[in-house]
A and B are shown apart, each in its own frame.
Chain A
Amino acid sequence: MSFKSIITQKEDQNIFLNRILFSSLLILLLASIIFIRLVFLQIYDSDQYKLRSLNNTIRTQSVPPSRGLIFDRNNNILAENRPVFQLEMIPEQVQHIEKTLDQLAELELINIKKIDALKEKIDSSYQFKAITLNTKLSEKQIAIFANNRNIFKGIDIKTRLTRYYPKGEIFSHALGYVGSISSNDYLRFDSAIYTGKEQIGKTSIERDYETSLHGYPGKEKLLVNVRGRVMDRLDTQPFEPGNNLILTLDTRLQEVAYDAMQGKKGAVVGIDPSNGEILIFISTPSYDPNKISQGMSNSEYAAFQNNKNKPLFNRAIAGQYPPGSTIKPMLALGGLEMGYINPDNFIPCEGHYFLPNYSRPFNDWTTHGSVNTKRAIQASCDVYFYELAVKMGIENMSAFLSNFNLGKKTLIDIGSEKKGIIPNRAWKKNNFKSKQNQSWFKGETVIAGIGQGYMLATPLQLAMATVMIANRGSAFQPHLVRAIENIKTGELQYTPTEEINNLEHIKEEHWDIIHQGMIAVVNERRGTAYGIFQPNVPIAGKTGSSQVFSIDKSSNKEVPEELRDHGLFIGFAPLKTPKIALTVIIENGGGGRLAAAPVAEKIMQAILDSEKKNAL
C-alpha cells in the first residue's frame, strides 16, 4: 500500500465529494421520477386502475331459473323438477386424476368405459370448473361415496334440478321432453335469457310453451380469483321461475287409454266437444321422457331413432292414415245435403260395384243386400258409397270434406302437425310429376268414397271432425294447454278457443240420419261395432279399416303384420251432451272392429261410468 500525502488526500476528497454530490443529485432526480410516476398511477389514473381491478375480480354469473310445472286438468302433476345427485370433480383440487378415476371406477361410482372420455374432457376444460363424472347417483352409490369421501379430495356430490315426469311414458307425446341446450336451440329463443346450464324443451308442449315455462335467470355477482374460482358471493338477484301450465288432459282417461293401447302401435285422441279441450292424447309405442331428459348416450338415442316401431314419432298429430270407412258418415251427410241420395231409398248391394269401361269390379268387404243411408253407415256398405262418390264427383266430395277441417291443420297448440290430404283434380295436378299421372281417374273417385286412395288424415283431424259430427257442425280449435298460471300473480291465463262452424247450413234431419247410423254401428245387430260395447250404450261411432296393401281376402294365408289393415274408430258419447269425441287408430291392427273398437269401448265406458257416478 502506498502512502499518500495529506495534500493528495485532500485532493482525493475534493474529487470524491464532487462526484458524491453529483450522485446525490442523480439519486434525488431518480427518486422524483418514481414519485411523479406513482402520483400519476395512484392519483391521476387511479380511477381507471380501480375499474380494471374490479373487472379483474368481479364476475357476473347468471343463475338458471326453475322451470314451470305442468299439471293435468285435475291438478295432478305431470312434469316437475327434481334434484338429482351428481358426482363432480374440480380438477385443480385433485392430485392424481388418473388414479382417482380408477379408484372411482373400482367402487362403481363411475362407468369404467367412460374413463377415457372423462380424461379427455378434463384435459380440455378449465381446471377450476366442476366436471360431471356421473349424472345420476343411486342411493347406494351415494352411501359408498360417503364412506370413502376422505380419499377423494376435490370430488363432491352436487344436486342439480332435472325435469321429472312422474307418469313417464303415458304423457310423453303430449308433454315432449327437455334436454341440454344445443346451438340450434339458441336460434329459436332469446339467448339473452338462457344461462346455458338449464334444460330446454325439445318437443311438444315442453318445446312450444318454452317461453312460458322457462322464466328469467337470476344474477350473481361473484368475487373470483385469477383462476376464476369463486371466493365470495357479493350480490344475488334471484331468478324468476317459469310459469306453470295447466293442461286439458285428464290423467285418469290417459291411463285408461294408454292401458288399452299396450302392445299396440297407433294413437288415441279424445276431445271435449264443448270447448276443444283435448282430454286424451296418446301415441304408442311411447318412450320414457325421463331417460331422454337426463341425457342419453349417442348410441342409446340412435337405437331409439332407428327402432322400427318409431317410439319418438308422434302419431297423434303427425301420423297420416287413410281414414277408410270413418269418412262415410261425413260423405253421407254431403250426399244428403246435396240431394244425391234419398235417405229412404234402398239400393241393392251385391258385394261389388262396376264402373262403366272398368273391367275389374270394386269389391265390398261383404254382401249387404238392400241398404239405405242409415244401414249403409251401420253396416259400412262400400257399394252404397261407391255409387254416392260417383254421383257426387271428386270435386264436390273434397269441397264438402274440407268443411270438416280435413286436409288442413287443426292449429293445435303444439308443432309438427301434419295436414293430411283430401285429394281432388287440382291436388293431383300439383303433386305428380308426369303428365300421365296428373290426370284424375274415375276409379280414384270410387275408392275415395270409402276413404281410400290418396286420402289421408291424422288422428287429431279425425277427432276434430268427430267433434263436428257430435256438435252438429261446430268445433273449437283443439288445444292441450288449458291455462298458463302466472307464477307471480297466481293469475290464470286461459287459452282462447275459437269456434269454427262450416256446417251451419246442414239440415237437422240430415244430422239425425247419420247420427242414427252411427248409433246403430254400436248398438244394433249388423252394426260393425255391435257386441263390442255393452248393450244400449249412449255411444255413436263408426269403424274403419284402411288398406295398407291390396290382398286377396279369400285366401286363408296368414297376412304379415306390417301389411295388415289399419283399424280405426271414431265416435262420441254420451249422445245427449257429448263429453268426448274420440278417435282410435291401430296400425296394422287388422280392422276397425277387431282392433280399434275395443280400445274405444274401454275409454268410452270409463267416461260413462264416471258420468253415472257424478249423476248419483
Chain B
Amino acid sequence: MSGAAALVAPAAAITRRRGGMQALRGLARPDFIVGAVVVAFWAFCALFPEVLTSADPTRITKEGLSVLGEPVPPGTPGFPLGADALGRDFFSRIVYGAQVAMIIAIVPNALALALATAVGVIAGVMRGKVEFILMRTTEAIMVLPGFLIALAVISTFGSSTIVLILTIVAFSWTYAARVVYGETLRLREMLFVEAARSVGAGRWRIAITHIVPQLKPLLIVYFTMNAAFMVLLEAGLGFLGFGVQPPTPSWGLMLAESRDQFFYPWLIITPGICLATLCVGFYLVGQGIQNAGRPREKAVVL
C-alpha cells in the first residue's frame, strides 16, 4: 500500500487544474469511462439484485446438487452459474456479493478518509507538539502488521459488521493521513494562505475555508484507490473466515468455501474475477481523475 502513496502523490498536480466543465471534459478518456461503467455495473448489482436474479443466495437447495452430491455446473437450468457445495445458486450469490463489496468500498472508506483528513490537517496546521504526537502515532500504527492485528481484534470482539468496518478503518487511515499532512504543509506555504493571513483571518478559518477545499481532488483520488484496497482487505479477511459471516455472501468468503473444490473451477475463478473487475474499475476511475487534462506522452529518442 506504500506504493499507492507514490501513485497518488502526483495527484497534487490536479489542485491546479481548471474547474468546472473543462475538468469534466478532461475525464472523457477511455480508461475513466471503462472504470466508471464497471463500478456503476456493480453498484447496480448491489442496489437492485432482484432485477438480475430471483433466487435467494442463502437458500440451500437439493436441486443444486447432483445425484452424487456434487454442485451442478454452470448452464444447468435454473442455475446460470451453477451451484456451490451447499447447492446454493452461485449466480445470485455473486450478484448479492456485490452488496458487501460496495458497502465495504464506501463506508469504512469515507470514515477512514474523514479521520485521515482530520489528523493530517490538524497536524499540518498546528505544528509543534501536536504535530509530533499525531504523526509519530500515525507512523507507529503504520509499522504494525495491520492484517495480523486486524485478525486478532476481530477474533476478540467478534466479526459483526461494525467491528469489521471499524477494524478496516483503524488500519487504513494512516496512509491517507500522511499524504494529507504533506499536502497541508505544502498548501500552507502557498500565497493565498499568506494573503488570507495578512487580512487577519485566524488559523483555523484559513484551514477550513482555504486548505480543505484544495484537498478535495486528492481525497477523491484516494477514495477510489482506497475503495479497491478495502474491498481486497475484506476479501482477504473473509477468505480466512474473519470477514462477513455466512450465510451472507461475500466474494472473499465464497473463495474460502471453494478453497478445496479444485474440481469445480467456476467456484474459484468467478469471485476472483468479480473482485478484480471491481478493483480495476476503481483504479481506472481514480487514474482518470488524476490524468484529466494531462497531455499525451511522447516517446523519447535516444
Q: Do A and B bind each other?
A: no
- Residues on B lying within 8 angstroms of A by beta carbon are none
